[in-house]
Amino acid sequence: MTHSHAHSHSHDHGPATPASRRLRTVIAAVLIPFSLLVLVGMLVLWPGEPPQHKRSGVGFDTERQRATVTQIDEVDCAEVNAQSQNADKDDKCQRVTIEVTSGKNKGRTFKEIVTPDALRRYDVGQDLVVSYQPDAPPEVQYAVVDVVRTVPLVVLAVIFALAVVVVGRLRGVAALIALAVSFGILILFILPAIIAGSNPLLVAIIGGSAIMLIALYLSHGFNARTSVAAIGTLASLLLIGLLGSIFIGWAKLTGSTDDFTGLIHDQYPDIEMSGLLLASVLIGSLGVLDDVTVTQSSAVWELRQADPSASWKKLYGAAMRIGRDHIASVVNTLVLAYAGAALPLLLLFTTARVGVGGVLTSELVTQEIVRTLVGSIGLVASVPLTTALAAVVLSTDRPPAPAGSRRGGPPAGEDPEAYGPYGGGPSQGGGPSYGGGPSYGGGPSYDSGLGYPPYDGGAQPYGGGGDQPPPRPGGRGRRRKR
């Protein structure tokens, strides 16, 4: 006798299987207090007005205004005393006339000489950024420091946003909102709080945690899978902070290695520069950490949906095979990203013919090595941490009963043969069951331990006398095979 089964498992990649109420309660007991601590920390450390200081007139610490190129004339370099190192004396230079378009001296013009070997060239109508030194002589108060790049950046940002929305749809929109919130926390809280004198490491931990929670839940939804990723990210951030603090102190890194950090230290001597370095390590690792932990948590969830009976060891082993590939690619990405950012520095060391040992142990390079390796250790550790947590959580969780089910039997209207006993009834191999004792051919009907009333009041046993079974409540009758 053959039996058809109407019930089947779905293995699509849609929303994750809902977690039980017990699991949601445990996760909430961890994340809600942590989220409240982050919120309280932001309120306590929220900066007021940043302290005012007198402009130094160096680098970024100058008053800046807008200007436009109005005229370009070609002149002999010798005529304007602007001979370049690699040019002949007969080479032509450009004399650029620039008009200030903002500030109290709007409409004022000044000249800029461009030599043949200059990297920056100008066009008539080009918008520029100029520095203004009010205490300098009038003829040298203005100088070009940069060009205005608003239009290409806006166009590129619009293309990026459209690509994210077209491919990601609503999830892409949520990701863009999370990105905007992350920048808002960075600009409105983290940077001003450090300038105001708060501990950079504490500010980075609180601000980074806020970014992590908002970005994860906005991008991936409020569910247990995202919560496990958040806990894994938090544990990895704590590990990065601990290792960074140890090795930055052990290597005697000051955090002041270039003109920018030196200028910050001169203007704000109360800022702890080594703490600022550690804060940059934490924030720099956060974005990649989110990617790794979400991927591993999702992998475990999908593996559990594919094999609901898998133990935590089987889930962990299968997900770690995915994680090992992820580790290899992410660590390589992180190292190359830092190397790309420091490429001009590496070129300088190469041309100076400094030995490899001297290059690697110099503070400027050691700082990047510590930043890279500490962040990479945190990323590597996040894979087994998140994978193990997700595997344990899923293997010990009891998923909620299917919609419409009732105690002691399968969901209303479903075929009892497609389900095992629901709630303590006898199974298919013993007691009054399908294969032994009273069965389909006579004797009691489906109420024998399965929790269902007999069809048609029990007057007609299923299959007795060769009659066809009456129609089932909520289902269809089945023709007995002869």
DSSP state string for 92-115: EEEEEEEEE-SSTTTT-EEEEEE-
Output Rg (C-alpha) for the chain, integer angstroms.
Answer: 35
Residue 476, classed as helix, strand or coil, is coil
- Please spell the DSSP secondary structure of 212-257, one letter per residue: HHHHHHHHH-SSHHHHHHHHHHHHHHHHHHHHHHHHHHHTT--S--
pLDDT at residue 428 in the model:
41
Residues in the chain: 482
Terminal C-alpha separation, the chain: 8
pLDDT on residue 356: 63
Only one residue has tokens 């700082």, namely: 367
Closest to 121 (Cα-Cα) out of 142, 92, 160: 92
According to DSSP, the β-strands at 127-132 and 142-147 are: antiparallel
| Residue 130: strand, helix, or coil | strand
**Nearest residue to 185 (alpha-carbon basis) of 364, 41, 349:** 41
The residues pairing with 69 across neighbouring beta strands, listed in sequence order, are 98
Burial of 357 (0-12, 13-18, 19+ CB in 10 A): exposed
Specify burial of residue 255 (Cβ count, 10 A radius: 0-12, 13-18, 19+). buried
What is the structure's pLDDT at 105? Answer: 87
Among the listed residues 138, 77, 151, 139, the one whose alpha carbon sits nearest the alpha carbon of residue 113: 77
Strand 127-132's sheet: what is its strand order? 109-114, 92-100, 63-76, 127-132, 142-147
**Helix/strand/coil for 475:** coil
Largest CA distance in the chain: 120
In terms of C-beta density within 10 A (0-12 exposed, 13-18 middle, 19 or more buried), how is residue 66 classed? middle
The label of the residue with tokens 């609901």 reads 308
Q: Which residues of 389-410 are buried (b: 16+ CB within 10 A; e: fewer)?
A: bbbebbbebeeeeeeebeeebb
User: H-helix or E-strand containing 127?
Assistant: strand 127-132
Comparing CA positions, the residue from 116, 114, 128 lying closest to residue 73 is 114
pLDDT for residue 5: 40
Task: Write the DSSP assignment of 25-83 as a string of letters.
Answer: HHHHHHHHHHHHHHHHHHHHH---SPPP-----STTSSEEEEEEEEEEEEEETTTTT--
pLDDT tens across the length of the chain (482 residues): 444 443 333 333 445 556 677 777 878 888 889 999 999 999 999 987 665 656 655 556 678 899 999 999 988 887 777 766 555 556 788 899 999 999 888 999 999 888 888 888 899 999 999 988 888 888 888 889 889 999 999 999 999 999 999 998 888 899 899 999 999 999 999 988 888 888 888 898 999 999 999 989 988 888 888 899 999 999 999 899 899 889 988 888 887 776 677 777 777 777 888 888 888 888 888 878 888 899 899 999 888 888 888 888 888 999 999 888 878 777 777 677 767 767 776 676 666 666 666 666 777 778 888 888 888 899 899 999 999 998 888 887 655 555 554 444 444 444 444 444 444 444 444 444 444 444 444 444 444 344 444 444 444 444 444 444 455 444 444 444 44
Helix, strand, or coil (residue 144): strand
Rounded distance between C-alpha atoms, residue 391 and residue 228, angstroms = 10
This prediction's pTM: 0.66
